Amino acid sequence: MAKKKVARKRVSSSKSRTVSRSSRSSRISSNKSVGNRLSLAWANFVFFLIIFVVSLVLYQIVPNILLQNFFGVISVISGIVAAALLIAAIVLSILRFGRK
């Protein structure tokens, strides 16, 4: 059997849509002050620090090996995030007090 060629329709380029870009820049918005970011960083740091301590205590208490591994992983992850948030809060506080 011979294969039949299928005729394909071409889309005319005159009907193509143009996409307009928004006038927003890719910079960080300037309406958020450093103080707001600093308070948010400290609040998140305290939250992840509490999660770290609770998961570390549960890691020590729970006798089940599966739960012990779970709380161990949670404590490592939340500890790393808390350390990163602490560094971010320190940098933001330096920026805040450096302006004054």
Domain positions in the chain are 43-100
pLDDT of 29-41, one tens digit each?
Answer: 444 677 788 889 9
CA-atom Rg of the chain in angstroms = 27
Q: Residues 78-89: pLDDT tens digits?
A: 999 999 999 999
pLDDT score recorded for residue 30: 46
pTM over 0.85: no
Q: Could you say which residues of the chain have pLDDT below 70?
A: 1-32, 100
